[in-house]
Structure formats: C-alpha cells, structure tokens
Structure 1
Amino acid sequence: MVFGQVVIGPPGSGKTTYCNGMSQYLSLIERKVAIVNLDPANDALPYDCAVNIEELIKLEDVMEEPSLGPNGGLLYCMEYLEKNIDWLESKLKPLIKDHYILFDFPGQVELFFNHESTKTILTKLTKSFNLRLTAVQLIDSLLCTDPGNYVSALFLSLSTMIHMELPQVNVLSKIDLIGSYGKLAFNLDFYTDVQDLSYLENHLNQDPRSAKYRKLTKELCSVIEDYGLVNFTTLDIQDKESVGDLVKLIDKTNGYIFSGIDASVVEYSKIAVGQTDWEYNRVAAVQEKYMKDEDIEEKTEE
C-alpha cells in the first residue's frame, strides 16, 4: 500500500507552505517523502518536488494560446492532466515502492466540489497504485473572525467531503496568527467543533452585507448541521508538536497507523475507535498560547 495526502484549500490558505513543512517533519521521523506539484500556476516552489505538472503543461501557456483566464486555464490544465494520466502514472511509478506522497493541488475550489477531473484523476491513481489517501483541506483561521466567511468555509468543507469521497481532515491553518486577526465572537472550540450555528445569527444580522443573505445563510447552516460531518483541527506549521499531532490524526484517517502491525481484529478495532491524544493541544493549548481574553467577545453556553 502507498499512503499520502491530497492537500487542498482556497488560495492563501497555506498549501505550499504546508507541503514544505510537512515534508520536513515527515523526513525527521524517517519517512521518505515525495511531493507532487499539480498546481500549474505555482512557479515559486520552496520545496524540491519529485513530480511537477509544469513538465506537462503550464498555466501561462494555456492563457496565451487558448486565450483563457486564470480560472478557466486551471480547469483546462486539470482536464488535460486527466486525459494524459499515463504521464503522471509513469512519474509516480518509481516512487510508490517506498515513498509517502504529498499532492499539492491548485487553490481553485471549483476543482474539489463540482468539477470531475480532480476526482477522476485521484480515483484512477488510487486504483492503479492501491493508494491510501487523506484529503487535507486547509482553511485560513482568519475566516473565523467573520461569521459569513466562516459559514462559507463550512459549506465548502462539506461540499468537498461529499464530492471527493475521500477521508478528509479539515484544518484551521495559520492558527499562530489568530490572536492578531481580531476578536472572535466565541471560544475557539465553537469554531473547531462546529457547535450550534444558530449562535451566529445575531452576529450575521449586525453586518449589513450578511443580513441581506440571512435566510440563505440560515438554510446553509441547517444543511451543515444536518450532515454533521464537518469539524476542524488546528495547525501551526512551524510548531513541531502541532504538526506531529496532525500527522497522528492523518495516519489514523488513511490507515497508515495500521501498516506493519500484525494484530487481531479485536486489537485493530481498539486502535480504530481509540481517541487521538491531542484534544487539549487542538483547542485549549492553542487558545492559551496564541490568544488573550480580550480576543474573545463572549462565550457560548455549555
């Protein structure tokens, strides 16, 4: 089996920085890592990638010849990669024996909640190489400071989980900066655990821009709560402990934790249902380390 991560998220959420930091951490714990850059617009990579889509197609070429804009160009590039999947398979073949794979994808969110090419590409790779992948969706923790943006992030996460059909870990990235982003309306665990979203309604009504879409937002919140799938973990990519805790969760999600273990079904079950040991680090420690009391306006009821 081959294990890895599919790194996705909106522009500016820190995907490339994440791949760089995650690869360094995994190397420290003695895993051989290969980064696959599938973002044809990412021409300033801070890491050495084993596979680079720019060897196949470049966004700037697509924008010049078919005269497409950046969004249309990225869709074209993914569709082109889908039709030339044999190129990617040939590049991956030497790596699958002993490498942990990180796929660095573009930040265009349409690719992950309503466009088929990315899903088709990953499905074909999974079947060809028996891949065990976890989608890691990064969401900038800045979005927690605005109720409307937070609801949008929730709906994006839910849509991606349903469309991609992969095990998914949703991450509030840049959590070390959350204290500098402005006041949060609620405790941090409200945002990580996606608690009663009706608390957001009063705050949405205070913003003229959000109040206009109050009914729509209320219905979106209802859909999110009905599915009950979305929650978030936290990450400071420069904090070794924070990265290590996230790796433990991802390992459990894609099954890496079971690799190399010769155990009975009962023992496997105990590992599967056991809680990860980082609940304190995920919320309470983050709030203590990066936030002050004045960063939170009010607290939700228990």
Structure 2
Amino acid sequence: MGYAQLVIGPAGSGKSTYCSSLYRHCETTGRSINIVNLDPAAEQFDYPVAMDIRELICLDDVMEELGLGPNGALIELEDNLDDWLTDELDNYMDDDYLMDLVTNKRDIGKYLNPQGQVLLSELNQHMAPQFFKLNKALVDLVDQYSMVSFVPLDLRKESSIQYILSQIDNCIQYGEDADVKVKDFDPEDIDD
C-alpha cells in the first residue's frame, strides 16, 4: 500500500509554502518524501519535484490550441492523466511517501464552519436539487464520525510541523506496519 497527502487549495493559499516546509523538515529528520506536482500552471518550486505534470502538458499550449481557458484545459488533461500518472507511479515502491500538489479552483472553506462541520445549506446552494438527500447523508456521515478537523500549523516552528506530520501519518496509517525499533543496550551498563 502506498501513502500520500493531497495538498489542495486556491492560488496563493500556501500549498507550495507548506510543501516546502514539510520537505525541509523531512530532509532534516532523514525521512524520505516525494513531492508530485499535478498543477500544470505551477511555475517554480524551491524543493525537488519527483513527478511533474508539466512533463505531460503545457497549459498555455492546450489553452491556445483548443481555445480554452485554464479550467477547460485542465479538463482536457484528464484524458491523458491516468496513463501518465500510472506510468510515473510504477517508479515508486509501495511504502514510498508522496505529496500531491494540486490547485483547486473551489474553496472548500466556505462549506465548513470554524469547527470543521459541513454547512449543508451552503453546499446545497451549489448542487442540483435532486442530490439534496445524498448531500445530507454524506454531511451527516462526515459530522458523525468527525471526518473533518482543523489542526493549527505554524511553519516557523519545527514542533508544529512535526505535529501536523504525525497527525497526517496517523490518518493515513503511515508506518503502522513498520518494525518496532529496539535500542540495543548492555545489561551491565544498568545501574542498580
């Protein structure tokens, strides 16, 4: 089983800053992490990118060729994405840790209150009426099992980054099947 974080949000929300901070933290602690860019509109990174969607597509070229805006070009991308991504993922082991960086044009924050509960009325304003019952069932499920929560992050503090990473590891069960590490010691060194 592989492990991954999906980092989404609108432009300027801090996705790259988060990935950069997490990469530096993992590099310092000796932990392996592979960052994947799935945003064809991204321009530069201050961390290494293991897989880059820009190798498959140039957003400007697709927009020009098809006469589409950025969102339309991204939809066209879906036709080739599965094959490209599957081929790229074949280069990684089952226990590799990936972070996917994606720009999301939707602001999920407007559907949540400060406690992380889904605002059904807000969600249903943007959905077709025939899906109201389905939306309500999904919202109730998320709320009942606390599937959404917020954890504060201060990128200036290593302890905050480590805490976020441990919360994510727990959620995705990263390292759960790792061997227990036992410190070797000499019984004669133990004081009575």
| TM-score > 0.5 by shorter chain | yes
Selected match of 2:105 from 97, 101, 108? 108
Selected match of 2:109 from 138, 153, 158? 153
**In 1, are the aligned partners of 2:33 and 2:97 still within 8 Å (CA)?**
yes
TM-score (norm 1): 0.47
1:243 matched to 2:169: no
3-state SS of paired residue (1:23): helix
**In 2, are the aligned partners of 1:33 and 1:99 still within 8 Å (CA)?**
yes
1:258 matched to 2:176: yes
Distance 2:95 2:124 in 1: 47
Distance 2:6 2:87 in 1: 19
Please give the residue correspondences for 1:258-277 in structure 2 after superposition, counting only pairs within 5 Å: 258-261=176-179
3-state SS of paired residue (2:103): coil
Q: Which residue of 2 aligns with 1:15?
A: 15
**In 1, are the aligned partners of 2:2 and 2:93 still within 8 Å (CA)?**
yes
- The CA deviation at 1:241 is 1.2
- The CA deviation at 1:237 is 2.4
3-state SS of paired residue (1:32): coil
| Gapped regions of structure 2 (runs ≥ 5) | 126-135, 181-192
Distance 1:69 1:225, change over 3 A: closer
Identity %: 35
Distance 1:217 1:48 in 2: 38
- The CA deviation at 1:96 is 2.3
- The CA deviation at 1:261 is 4.3
1:24-46 deviation line (CA, Å, top 9, x unaligned): 11222222111111100001222
Distance 1:250 1:217, change over 3 A: closer
Please give the residue correspondences for 1:179-190 in structure 2 after superposition, counting only pairs within 5 Å: none
What amino acid sits opposite 1:243 in the alignment? I
1:86-114 deviation line (CA, Å, top 9, x unaligned): 322222222325632111112223xxxxx
Structure 1 residue runs of 4+, over 3 Å off?
216-220, 223-227
Distance 1:28 1:12 in 2: 26
Distance 1:38 1:225 in 2: 28
- The CA deviation at 1:244 is 0.6
1:89 matched to 2:86: yes
Higher relative contact order (CA 8 A, sep 6+): 2
Distance 1:218 1:52 in 2: 32
Distance 2:44 2:116 in 1: 35
| Gapped regions of structure 1 (runs ≥ 5) | 110-138, 140-151, 158-189, 198-215, 263-302
Distance 2:90 2:175 in 1: 23
What amino acid sits opposite 2:99 in the alignment? L
Q: Which residue of 2 aligns with 1:53?
A: 53
Distance 2:105 2:123 in 1: 26
TM-score (norm 2): 0.72
3-state SS of paired residue (1:258): coil
Please give the residue correspondences for 1:63-102 in structure 2 after superposition, counting only pairs within 5 Å: 63-77=63-77, 79-82=78-81, 85-96=82-93, 99-102=96-99
3-state SS of paired residue (1:76): helix
1:6-54 deviation line (CA, Å, top 9, x unaligned): 1112222211111111111122222211111110000122222111111
Distance 1:65 1:217, change over 3 A: closer
Distance 1:153 1:252, change over 3 A: same
**In 2, are the aligned partners of 1:37 and 1:104 still within 8 Å (CA)?**
yes
What amino acid sits opposite 2:76 in the alignment? Y
Choose 1 or 2 for highest CA Rg: 2
